[in-house]
Structure 1
């Protein structure tokens, strides 16, 4: 008998399982659909003016009253946000969060209605209406509550995005429903911390550079969309609504009452109530905001140019708002009676302070944006902008000179051509100007800012990342070619990372990667390239540095390579030990490897598997989990991310690098390692361990399991060498003390970093595998430069270390 209903039955079965797994999500979605459809039916049958006229009682919070598109978006929001909340904290907590945040948000918001007893139009930001219910109030409150149960990465992302969106709606549009959502978000934040069991998470956890870029990029994008929301809003009453008037009003739509001799109360009223009524006004407003959108996208890419672009636009917005409104109490007081002075004054001040605060945060965190644009792209951007401004100014002046009536002050027109960022008081004579001149002035601003936005796309990398961000793409490709053809030492593949500079021998057969701090050039290991050319490369690089007035320092080179330098009078001091083994002969037998055997057997019993793959071939879900694990690892550190010879997620994305991921039977990532290739004659002959990250819930021994699995995989591939890499500033045997206390300095740094990064603990972990240990040294030519050398090495690892952090850690160590 055929089963024609098979597919339908399968869909029904999957739906039933989803409902059983997410019952709160299903109930809320049904209520949203039911109340909305019921309201629509009552409206049609009863011919009421709107759905708002329908009384649902407490179920009114589920009704969508603004159309079919809003209904679809709301249902999608329920499925995504409530579903995610239910997955994070369970059905009972989700139902509790949904009810509590709704009651608190709408309840406290409705109380503000009592403050509006005189029916004034200005300042209704604080004047909520008890009739303005919205399902999104509960959705926002619920997901913010659930964020407390997420890991550091998603907890921060959920909260930052929720707060940014809610704040933008509240500060720019200021509807009562926006106020309710903001209050619900605040209630959800507190409720989540109360419901979550475990140690309190106080303060703001540290972010990786990548996550800082995501968060600040989101903030800048929201600040670009906010004024548009205010301009198209029917009741634009938010605290930052004045910014919308600054970017929306212009030569084409001057505000009545704004004169060159001062900002009158009538002008302020017009600005605060200004709203876009035609497409041209929106074009005028969107043009400069597009620059912020490009900057925001560039921030996601880590562009330093995008930081300064956003800073310039935000400062320009703040200055334009300050000039436009005058911020003089006597002028603001003219707007209304005493009851309105506070609200209007705060609104105007906020419109100036918020863009300045955003610019300040970007400047303070600019070091997280390490991608520098190619000089040619910056020059091209500057030339395009200057030429465009010159052309626009020329067209404006020529049009003014050709007008039937002479213009009293043509230079004012050039300033007015900046469009929305020019002071509004420049436009008081516009109604009397020639129509052609008014059109040219109206088009000048949008054209200029549109050109700036388009010209900024390449230097910010908003569309695609700059393949030659630091101007070293050709040198980096040359280094990779040498490494693949002839190989290098332990740090070989690390020389291809961003942040390194390069020197190549005249014959091109060897090269050196280094980082310079002041007058000290610290190498990333020894020379790479053909073995018979490396010794000469060491001498050649040292001579080249001396010619430039720098001190060459070879960091992390083997004792055999250092012999070439010691023969020339150089000194050395031990800094680390390289641990490696031959996977072709390595086994887990032996008493010293008992912990490794136990870990492998335990993983087998629990169904844990290891997946060897490039980053590009990993499933999207696995990638997201790895990023979350890495972010959790960074958030638990008291110091910024280290670099130099320590990689992270960015370095794992290299197609030549391999990841080894530990997965439980459900596909959850428990731990991850990354492996850097070593080449000889174009063939991979070894892999070096780099990144090691694990979740807090991972079972003991998962890292031992991953390393043992890597050895098994490499044995199958015929790989000759598995390196467990070198733990920086850590060694199993104390070295001889160096002169001038540099050894003491490095020992101090190693001791300070031990509680944070556990380098010495890592060395003990590697000893479990019975590897061969090879001492690595730092070779230097001049003992007089030792203090500067010590600082340069520390700066190479921690370029973002602040003085406060350094003092705090040293105090903790002492």
Structure 2
């Protein structure tokens, strides 16, 4: 008990503003409840708690608990990011701006029931979440690129969903506080202004778009259960929520009245069964959103289809109600209703458009069998549902004149405009089948989409090469490979294996050029023959084989057959068993190690799976910050990232300060021989902007010491792509000029040549790596293929801009 109390006291001292807000929320909420009981008032408006009403929670015990948790998490994080004084300022300013500007809408609502009531409802109570959201958005300006973007996107998505679908006054206050916090944070943060949207990694793009899709699925549910649904997207929720089971009075397929539109906007799901039927199409969006988190391309197209269907459904529903806007209340509301209906069509279409434009960030393709299974299940369900509807219609006493309209009604969201004018005369059994058919079909679609989207179980064979990749991995572990050996196991590579299975080649094909990932891997005595056989296999397929990043000794097999080579990089390695920090050339390394020892910086060697969760989150944030500072997409091919670090065979080496804060991280790829690890190759290098100088030197020196203790034979600092220490390398019909140009263009962005100079501090041995090619005529295509291997997502606009900058 004493230990717990001590921790509470330390937390209060560390976060005093959070503690004060927590106490105020608790006391005012309890006090308000007591005052209401004593005064027997129905609302907080009659209780004299001002100006403390902004802290009071009046909607129940669960809401109070959630608000208190929000105070601890959001205000606590804000106080940690920007300090106590700025937190108080943000809390006050965003509350005043949010509630103040929100209150001005009452001036628009001049008669108490017109435009303002449509947009905001009649709720006037203050909400603590206004201040909480405004404060954390303000603090996001002081976070790194990863968490700044996540905080803002999630805050805007949630606030926008509440405002657009529910539209209560408290939702407007929170939206205004969010905007105020965004601006205030940028004003309070010192440093250069951050204009525009910083680049994000593919992983982060998936997280952000997945969040948006999930919120778009939850928004209509919020509206359907809300007591007062008056947001701009309320018509979209009505399209999803109503149907033949729950007809709206006054709506017919050929004409409508203001009563129909008012009924649509006022519709509310009042029982669990109706709610289940209403949200069935949204479950498909939920599955798609979860698939987006996993990078599923199938999930992209699934979400696009659902959003387009919902937009068309809204357009069809309200397009057939021409008299609605004019008849609703009066001319004052015509503009509001028009904007609301247009928004219900445009928002889903805009979401679909963004997903299409950013589809390249979703690289996980489902196995063909899963797509076929999905299509078969959906087709069978469609046939069964249609058959049941038609059979039920044929079995009723009254003959249905147009059975095709029944089929349309069975397809889901379009059903609200199909049979409302005939519902009274339809048989009860047919009405039930009509109401259940669409939701059942959508539920089947959602269930069938789980596997191809990877929403629950990620596809272990995303690119259809799982068996080949496992075969390559087994061969590497048993017999080994060259410098790029373990990189051959990465996603994106295709594979070729010799007839006897003793050697293999990993490659990436662009057009008619197959660029290898280093040389062959497998048993040493089978590699030379594998090079010749692979080149012959490529020629039989009409491709040009190019061996990229192989050693000069291995290239000798090809040059003896008339191939030509040109240098592309240099491998830097050392023997950790004999390496020391002594010597004049290693002065910088010794200084970095001594400085780290004095400051209490430690190095943690671990697999990704064994890292503490807090460390993992920090590494992801550092990586995202690194990506956001680049003007180009993430490079691949022989350069790894977070996804490659997750391989259980890969090791991470993390620099931690005494408080456990991650300063820098490196990853190391294993090299095998005869089934055991004999070397490690440096891959990922990331550091925070606040990390002290020399932290990378400290990590590499720590890795060498660790490997010396483990008896490892080789530590490779890897090869800096398109960078060489030797000058004056002979040109080769323009491809060398192209690679030099690309290397020069990428140098300010990725610093490959600076990286080569960094590696020289450790006194390694340098081994030239070359590109071997059979035909000079193919050199232009070879240069393009190599660039595309590193930058598959490079757009023409980015390429032109970078070349212009270089020139």
Asked if Structure 1 and Structure 2 have the same fold, meaning a TM-score greater than 0.5 normalized by the shorter chain, the answer is yes
Distance 1:525 1:407, change over 3 A: same
What secondary structure does 2:655 align onto? strand
Mark the CA change 1:134 to 1:793 in structure 2 (over 3 Å): closer, same or farther: same
Question: Equivalents in 2 of 1:542, 1:748: separation in Å?
Answer: 28
Distance 1:264 1:539, change over 3 A: farther
Q: How far apart are residue 255 of structure 1 and its match?
A: 1.9
Preserved contact between residue 108 and residue 115 of structure 2 (Cα < 8 Å): no
C-alpha separation between the residues in 2 aligned to 1:574 and 1:329?
71
User: Following TM superposition, by how much is the alpha carbon of 1:426 offset from its aligned partner in structure 2, in angstroms?
Assistant: 4.0
Query: What's the offset of the Cα at 1:43?
Result: 1.8
Q: Give 3-state SS (helix, strand or coil) of 1:45's partner.
A: helix
Following TM superposition, by how much is the alpha carbon of 1:50 offset from its aligned partner in structure 2, in angstroms? 3.1
Structure 1 distance, partners of 2:469, 2:731, is 34
CA contact (8 A) 2:257 2:321 kept: no
**C-alpha separation in 1, matches of 2:325 and 2:561:** 77
- 1:780 offset after TM fit, Å? 1.0
| CA RMSD across the alignment | 1.3
Distance in structure 1 (CA, Å) of the matches to 2:414 and 2:129: 34
CA distance in structure 2 between the partners assigned to 1:307 and 1:24 by the alignment: 43
Q: Which runs of 5+ in 2 are unaligned?
A: none
Compute the displacement of 1:101 (Å). 0.4
CA contact 2:16–2:84 (8 Å) conserved in 1: yes
* CA-to-aligned-CA distance 1:749-777 (integer Å, 9 cap, x gap): 10110000000000000011111111111
Equivalent position to 1:467, from 460, 467, 477:
460
Do the aligned partners of 1:678 and 1:686 also contact (CA within 8 Å) in 2? yes
Is the Cα–Cα contact under 8 Å of residues 98 and 142 in structure 1 kept in the other structure?
yes
Mean Cα displacement is larger for which, 49-58 or 301-310?
Answer: 49-58
Q: CA deviation at 1:335?
A: 2.7
TM-fit CA distance, 1:231: 0.7
1:466-504 residue CA offsets vs partner (Å, 9 max, x unmatched)? 111111111000000000000000000000001111111
Alpha-carbon offset, residue 391 of structure 1: 0.4
8 Å CA contact 1:610, 1:663 repeated in 2: yes
Distance 1:501 1:422, change over 3 A: farther
Tell me the secondary structure at the aligned position of residue 579 of structure 1.
Answer: strand
Q: CA contact under 8 A between 1:329 and 1:345: conserved in structure 2?
A: no
Q: Distance in 2 between matches of 1:476 and 1:421?
A: 46
Using the TM superposition, give the Cα deviation of residue 423 of structure 1 relative to its aligned residue in structure 2, in angstroms: 5.2
**Is contact 2:75–2:135 with CA below 8 Å preserved after alignment?**
yes
Matches within 5 A, 1:766-785: 766-785=759-778
How many Å separate the matches in 2 of 1:365 and 1:714?
42
**Cα distance change, pair 263–329 in 1 and its aligned pair in 2 (3 A):** closer
Q: Residue deviations 1:212-262, cap 9 Å, x none? A: 010000000000000000011111000111110010001101222222224
Shift of 1:420: 2.5
* Deviation for aligned residue 1:327: 7.8
Tell me whether 168-177 or 437-446 shows the greater mean CA deviation. 437-446
Contact conserved, 1:123 with 1:344, CA < 8 A, in 2?
no
TM-fit CA distance, 1:550: 1.1
Alignment partners' CA distance in 2, 1:801 and 1:733? 29
- How far off is 1:414 after superposition? 0.8
CA deviations on 1:267-317 (whole Å, 9 max, x unpaired) are: 222222222223232112211100000000000111110001000000110
Instruction: Please identify, of 279-288 and 291-300, the stretch whose mean Cα deviation from structure 2 is larger.
Output: 279-288
**TM-score, length basis structure 2:** 0.98
CA contact (8 A) 1:110 1:129 kept: no
> Does the C-alpha gap of structure 1 residues 294 and 31 become closer, same or farther in structure 2, counting only changes over 3 Å?
same
Matched, 1:48 2:41: yes
Of residues 115-124 and 25-34 in structure 1, the stretch that sits farther from structure 2 once superposed is 115-124
Does the 8 A contact of 2:389 with 2:430 survive in 1? yes
> Within 1, Cα distance between the matches of 2:256 and 2:500?
71
Q: Which residue number corresponds to residue 173 of structure 2?
A: 180
Find the aligned partners of 1:517 and 1:146 in 2 and give their Cα distance: 45
What are the superposed Cα offsets for residues 151-210 of structure 1, whole Å, 9 maximum, x if unpaired? Answer: 111010000000000000000000000000000000000111111111111111100111
Tell me how far apart the structure 2 counterparts of residues 431 and 262 of structure 1 sit (CA, whole Å). Answer: 17
Give 1:104-119 correspondences, 5 Å limit.
104-119=97-112
1:143: which partner in 2?
136
Query: CA-to-partner distance for each residue in 1:334-376, whole Å, 9 max, x for gaps?
Result: 3342211111111111111110110011111111111100000
Assess, with a 3 A threshold, how the Cα gap between structure 1 residues 510 and 117 changes in structure 2: closer, same or farther: same
Change (3 A) 1:270 1:236: same
Q: How does 1:540-689 map to 2 (within 5 A)?
A: 540-689=533-682
User: Which residue is equivalent to 1:3?
Assistant: none
- Is 1:694–2:687 an aligned residue pair? yes
Structure 2 counterpart of 1:742, from 735, 738, 741: 735
- For the residue of structure 2 that corresponds to 1:684, the secondary structure is strand
Deviation at 1:784, TM superposition (A): 1.2
Distance 1:761 1:27, change over 3 A: same
1:446 CA drift (Å): 1.4
User: 412-421 vs 422-431, which deviates more?
Assistant: 422-431
Of the structure 1 ranges 418-427 and 239-248, higher mean CA displacement relative to structure 2 is found in 418-427
Deviation at 1:547, TM superposition (A): 1.2
* Structure 2 SS opposite 1:768: helix
* Deviations 1:781-812 (CA, angstroms, capped at 9, x unpaired): 11111111111111111111111111111111
For each residue in 1:76-106, what CA deviation from the matched residue of structure 2 results, as whole angstroms up to 9, or x when unmatched? 0001100110111111111111011000000
Q: Deviations over 1:480-538 (max 9, x none)?
A: 00000000000000000011111111100000111111111111011100011111111
* Stretches of 4+ aligned residues off by more than 6 angstroms: 327-330
User: Using the alignment, how far apart are the partners of 1:463 and 1:449 within structure 2?
Assistant: 18
Change (3 A) 1:589 1:290: same
In structure 1, what is the Cα distance between the partners aligned to 2:479 and 2:120? 73
1:430 Cα deviation from its structure 2 partner? 2.0
Contact between 1:634 and 1:641, CA under 8 Å: does it hold in 2? yes
Shift of the alpha carbon at 1:130?
8.1
How far the C-alpha of 1:127 sits from its partner, in A, is 4.6
C-alpha spacing 1:351/1:327, structure 2 compared with 1 (3 Å): farther
Q: Which runs of 5+ in 1 are unaligned?
A: 1-7
Contact kept, 8 Å, 1:52 with 1:65, in 2: the verdict is no
Which sits farther off after the overlay, 399-408 or 46-55?
46-55
User: Cα distance 1:124–1:782, how it changes in 2: closer, same or farther (>3 A)?
Assistant: farther
Distance in 2, Cα, partners of 1:126 & 1:240: 10
- Mark the CA change 1:126 to 1:286 in structure 2 (over 3 Å): closer, same or farther: closer
- Which structure 2 residues correspond to residues 306-455 of structure 1 after superposition, within 5 A? 306-326=299-319, 332-422=325-415, 424-455=417-448
Please give the alpha-carbon distance, in whole angstroms, between the structure 2 residues aligned to 1:563 and 1:433: 84
Deviation at 1:424, TM superposition (A): 2.0
Instruction: Assess, with a 3 A threshold, how the Cα gap between structure 1 residues 600 and 453 changes in structure 2: closer, same or farther.
Output: same
Q: Is the 8 A contact 2:106 2:116 kept in 1?
A: no
- TM-superposed CA distance for 1:40, in Å, is 1.1
Match of 2:201 in 1: 208
Distance 1:211 1:21, change over 3 A: same
